[in-house]
Chain A
Amino acid sequence: MSENTELNYTKKDFASDQEVKWCPGCGDYAILSAIQTALTHIGRKREDIVFVSGIGCSSRFPYYMNTYGYHTIHGRAPAVASGLKTANPDLSVWVITGDGDSLSIGGNHLIHALRRNVDMNIVLFNNEIYGLTKGQYSPTTQPGHITKSTPYGSLDRPFSPAKLAFGASATFIARTLDADANHMQEVMLEAEAHRGTSFIEIYQNCVIFNDGCHSQYVNKESRNDHSIILTHGKPMVFGGDIKKGIILDHLRLKVVELGEMYTEEDCLVHDKHNEMLASLLVAIDADPAMPKLYGVLYAVNDVIYNEQVTTQIVEVKAKKGPADFHKLLYSGDTWHIE
């Protein structure tokens, strides 16, 4: 990693000359801005940063970044990015994807990228709908939801992206929201600092096909009552007028009101390195009685695929000596014809 404190980039340095063409009011604008700002703080040179995307509204993202960028094919960005990072581990690699791109057509690549723990960042814009194909239900659409392809209501059981990532052995799972620029930036910086695959889900609003799908836990008026911003080492408390917290009750997470019966001291303290706790945190995702969780849900260090590839080459070279094609050609049985 190149440590350069004299880069002095501004957000503008990361904006390409292309006109941004998302719908007016789309959550993607805020995400683009947050990532461009975050990149001014990561200490990486612009030429060492690569954005890779698949297909969908979110996947137009690389065109708007003044870095290297590849707009690939539907669902395959994690695979392209895995090859890119493995071939050149010195790059800062970012995958930009949506709920259709990464959880439906590209589900296989997502889980295997997480399993291998290639050192890159996967940013999933979750708006619970297909936008670019104009309004069909996605793998995160809520049951019963009316969409273009489900006029009588969706019958599919949705995925929880965080739970899926946890099941796929992700080493870093975070969630943030398009309505909070500062929180997005914080999460991006922590994701970039994490060694291994960082999985970031962003609740993103599609103004055209699924407007307000996350409003309860994203809008300023209601989000304090329906979400918690998790901080490592801090108790899990939330709430507007009425303060609430999360306690552990017989292997279940439970919301309690703080006051007479419970105080902050009774609440669970977030430990992002605790795998058991993470399993509980991702389990409440679909429970409407529970608040939505923002922040880094889980972060552990584990072996990193691209590093192991590099190490293995070094080890084999040390053992076998330098490559010699002549030696290879003449290895095994040879014979001389006069």
Chain B
Amino acid sequence: MSALTEVESVVIRFSGDSGDGMQLTGTQFSNTSAIMGNDIATFPDYPAEIRAPQGTIAGVSGFQIHFGSREIFTPGDEADMLVAFNPAALMVNLKDLKKGGTLLVNSDAFSDSKIAKAGFEANPLDSGELDGYQVIKVPIDSQTIEALKDIDLDTKSKKRCKNFYALGMTYFLYHREMQTTLEWIKEKFSDHPELLQANQTAMKAGAHFAETLEEVVSTYKVSSAKIDPGIYRQINGNTSTAWGFMRAAQAAKLPLFLGSYPITPASDILHELSKYKEFDVKTFQAEDEIAAICAAIGAGLAGSLAITTSSGPGIALKGEAIGMAISYEIPLVIVNVQRGGPSTGLPTKTEQSDLFQALYGRNGDAPLIIIAASRPNDCFDMAYEASRLALEHMSPVIMLTDGYIANGTEPWKIPDIDAHYAQIKHKMLDPNSVYTENWSWISRDPKTLVRDWAIPGMPGLEHRIGGLEKDFKTGNVSYDPANHQKMSDIRRDKIEAVKENIPLQEIEGEPSGDLLIISWGGTYGAVEMAMRALQKEGKKISLIHLRYLNPMPKNVGEIIKNYKKVIIPELNMGQMVHIINAKFGCNAIGYNKVQGLPFKISELKSAFTQALNEV
């Protein structure tokens, strides 16, 4: 038996060809770890091509999981262990393996041709370039086939069980219990007894083999984390977003309507919502992005909680229709799961470079509400918030997430929905209690400037709305100069008034100090971990992570004044920093990266340290 080391947290990355089942393997490992009481965060990294040519760099698919006995906010910077199913996977991922880390390779895949295809000049298993890592070379293909020799399956099918063989090995190395995964296999392959048996056998064989492996000098134990008591489940950002809308529709007692057009990385929201017809969810896969938002607008006009989901290129196409929703003053939620841009950009890679688009990407002065989710399980809350604000303020709301949190999975303490997500009061009129004489669809609350919501089917409230400018009083078409000024003022003030209906900005850390970090969106985890590390070192550093971007909470300007310096890390070329400096006249500096990858904690730590040194 090899030595047992107790560690606080571990990062493992599984990588192989996109057909090798890496996403499935990683998901099993993370589910098991969560059920064993670890805090976890995961991130899949898959190619844009569905099946790129086998063995190529372009076809490498990866799944990273970070699990620990302390709070885990990100999938981790560098991996403690890398599982590489072929030379290409090794080529792509070796740079992210910690020096001295464990490397499990499938030596069967290291043929001369595959080695060359991956871009290695010589076999890396012999060339010495892996010195400094703890390399475990295993002929996984042949050992899997050997382990399954008594099962009535063809060799190709047997070989496909290799991911479970490797998973079994990692379960032994990290003291994971196999039960959850064995049960999952049983359920998954209940109609295919041979495959059921083959995958279960492969997994057990892998674990047994790892036990006898001379090369294994150490196995690792990660104890359960101290986590808030409660019942937990795993959830990724897109599912969490979908569920937030479903709950909001229930809380508002309105049917939910999604108009959407498939686009990476937002499509999973469409897939998820299309499952729940029993919740009166209608999903409309439109002919294009424009039709998707227009159908949602139509459903909103008919009295549904209307949403449309997309990513940057799709949002660009929706621009004119978003302007129409602003001009109509109707509730509508637009989700942008951001990806690398411009144009088609990097469909499967994360970025947060659509902030300017959300704020300014329309013709005319066209303000709307913008909020951003900070982590996978925050998407539920923010989707609910987006719906609440849209319905309470009769305005379109853009909800920003990104590819990183949309696909990232983390544990979620199941909320008490009866206490916290129970009721949304929308503005829909009761036609029986409206005095219809002289009623105008555009009459509004003098304080919030929100108009009433009358929908087709309500007798006596028939009215016409268009994209042309409307008379302030009657709602009829108006070309009057002073009226246009007045309506433009109203559209601005109406959004500003939302400030009274959102929480004040919370500060993490002391309310004054040397350095204030302002972040937003999916960078929260890495920023938070970097800040905590520096606080531990005694640095006077605090964080405000913005979830409400337009309007911002009332106290943001005041908070900023209490720090000597402000730094704004963003996965774009500098957008929020521009807005904050324009809005509050401060000299915030940016820390920016656009490589399609999330921030590493280490790079943020050094950026913040450098900023602190310059205070």
* Binding between chains A and B: yes
Would B233 and A329 count as touching, CB distance under 8 A? yes
Would B464 and A63 count as touching, CB distance under 8 A? yes
CB of B257 closer than 8 Å to a CB of A = yes
Within residues 324 to 338 of chain A, which ones have a CB less than 8 A from any CB in chain B? 325-326, 328-330, 332-338
CB of B345 closer than 8 Å to a CB of A = no
B 279-318 binary contact with A (CB < 8 Å = 1; else 0):
1101010111011001111111111101000000000000
> In the complex, what residues of A have CB within 8 A of residue B276's CB?
323, 328
Identify the interface centre among B227, B277, B459: most chain A CB within 10 Å of its CB: B277
> In the complex, what residues of A have CB within 8 A of residue B460's CB?
47
Would A335 and B298 count as touching, CB distance under 8 A? no
* In the bound complex, CA of A59 to CA of B303 (Å): 23
* In the bound complex, CA of A87 to CA of B281 (Å): 10
Would A48 and B456 count as touching, CB distance under 8 A? yes
Instruction: Bin the interface of chain B by size.
Output: 35 or more
Would A70 and B302 count as touching, CB distance under 8 A? no
CB of A46 closer than 8 Å to a CB of B = yes
Would A87 and B298 count as touching, CB distance under 8 A? yes
* A84 interface neighbour in B227, B291, B456, B468, Cβ under 8 Å: B456
> In the complex, what residues of B have CB within 8 A of residue A317's CB?
277-278
> In the complex, what residues of B have CB within 8 A of residue A45's CB?
459
CB of B228 closer than 8 Å to a CB of A = yes
B 454-466 binary contact with A (CB < 8 Å = 1; else 0):
0111111111111
Contact A323/B35 with A72-B324, A79-B286, A334-B233 known, Cβ cut-off 8 Å:
no
Would B231 and A336 count as touching, CB distance under 8 A? yes
CB of B551 closer than 8 Å to a CB of A = no
Contact A109/B291 with A68-B462, A335-B231, A337-B232 known, Cβ cut-off 8 Å:
yes
Would A83 and B457 count as touching, CB distance under 8 A? no
How far does the Cβ of A251 sit from chain B's closest Cβ, in whole Å?
33
Contact A76/B35 with A112-B287, A325-B247 known, Cβ cut-off 8 Å:
no
B 412-428 binary contact with A (CB < 8 Å = 1; else 0):
00110100000000000
* In the bound complex, CA of A93 to CA of B402 (Å): 37
* In the bound complex, CA of A109 to CA of B465 (Å): 21
CB of B476 closer than 8 Å to a CB of A = yes
Would A80 and B301 count as touching, CB distance under 8 A? yes
CB of B194 closer than 8 Å to a CB of A = no
Within residues 361 to 393 of chain B, which ones have a CB less than 8 A from any CB in chain A? none
Would A316 and B278 count as touching, CB distance under 8 A? yes
Give B283's nearest chain A residue, CB to CB.
A309
* In the bound complex, CA of A70 to CA of B325 (Å): 11
Would A86 and B35 count as touching, CB distance under 8 A? no
CB of B467 closer than 8 Å to a CB of A = yes
> In the complex, what residues of B have CB within 8 A of residue A288's CB?
none
How far does the Cβ of A170 sit from chain B's closest Cβ, in whole Å?
15
Give B275's nearest chain A residue, CB to CB.
A316
Would A334 and B232 count as touching, CB distance under 8 A? yes
A 54-87 binary contact with B (CB < 8 Å = 1; else 0):
0000000011011111111110100111111111
* In the bound complex, CA of A328 to CA of B250 (Å): 13
Would A18 and B476 count as touching, CB distance under 8 A? yes
Would A337 and B229 count as touching, CB distance under 8 A? yes
Contact A84/B298 with A63-B477, A79-B290, A321-B278 known, Cβ cut-off 8 Å:
yes
* In the bound complex, CA of A91 to CA of B299 (Å): 12
Give B297's nearest chain A residue, CB to CB.
A80
* In the bound complex, CA of A109 to CA of B287 (Å): 7
Would B295 and A83 count as touching, CB distance under 8 A? yes
* In the bound complex, CA of A316 to CA of B278 (Å): 6
* In the bound complex, CA of A320 to CA of B290 (Å): 33
Would A82 and B295 count as touching, CB distance under 8 A? yes
Would B277 and A83 count as touching, CB distance under 8 A? no
> In the complex, what residues of B have CB within 8 A of residue A323's CB?
250, 276, 278-280
Give B456's nearest chain A residue, CB to CB.
A68
CB of A16 closer than 8 Å to a CB of B = yes
* In the bound complex, CA of A266 to CA of B228 (Å): 87
Contact A330/B301 with A73-B320, A325-B417 known, Cβ cut-off 8 Å:
no
> In the complex, what residues of A have CB within 8 A of residue B250's CB?
323, 325
How far does the Cβ of A67 sit from chain B's closest Cβ, in whole Å?
6
Would B233 and A330 count as touching, CB distance under 8 A? yes
> In the complex, what residues of A have CB within 8 A of residue B280's CB?
313, 323
* In the bound complex, CA of A50 to CA of B455 (Å): 10
> In the complex, what residues of A have CB within 8 A of residue B462's CB?
46-47, 66-69
Would B298 and A52 count as touching, CB distance under 8 A? yes
Would B278 and A320 count as touching, CB distance under 8 A? yes
CB of B446 closer than 8 Å to a CB of A = no
How far does the Cβ of A302 sit from chain B's closest Cβ, in whole Å?
18
Contact A87/B282 with A65-B464, A70-B465, A317-B277 known, Cβ cut-off 8 Å:
yes
Give B431's nearest chain A residue, CB to CB.
A47
* B295 interface neighbour in A62, A74, A80, A321, Cβ under 8 Å: A80
Contact A76/B290 with A83-B284, A333-B31 known, Cβ cut-off 8 Å:
yes
Contact A83/B303 with A112-B291, A328-B243 known, Cβ cut-off 8 Å:
no
> In the complex, what residues of B have CB within 8 A of residue A150's CB?
none
> In the complex, what residues of A have CB within 8 A of residue B247's CB?
325
Contact A333/B37 with A76-B294, A108-B287, A109-B287 known, Cβ cut-off 8 Å:
no
> In the complex, what residues of A have CB within 8 A of residue B31's CB?
333
CB of B562 closer than 8 Å to a CB of A = no
* B456 interface neighbour in A50, A73, A313, Cβ under 8 Å: A50
B 246-284 binary contact with A (CB < 8 Å = 1; else 0):
110010000101010000000000000000111110101
A-B contacts, 15 of them at CB < 8 A, read A18-B464, A47-B461, A68-B463, A83-B295, A84-B298, A91-B456, A309-B282, A313-B280, A325-B279, A329-B415, A329-B417, A330-B231, A337-B227, A337-B229, A337-B232
A-B residue pairs, 10 tightest by C-beta: A83-B298, A71-B466, A83-B295, A79-B294, A84-B298, A87-B299, A316-B277, A69-B464, A79-B291, A87-B302
> 17 additional contacts, CB 8 Å, given A70-B464, A86-B284, A334-B231?
A50-B456, A70-B301, A74-B320, A76-B321, A80-B294, A82-B291, A84-B298, A85-B298, A86-B282, A87-B299, A91-B456, A108-B288, A309-B282, A326-B417, A329-B414, A336-B232, A337-B229
Q: Please give the residue numbers on chain A whose beta carbons come within 8 Å of chain B beta carbons, in ascending order.
A: 16, 18, 45-50, 52, 62-63, 65-74, 76, 79-88, 90-91, 108-109, 112, 309, 312-313, 316-317, 320-323, 325-326, 328-330, 332-338
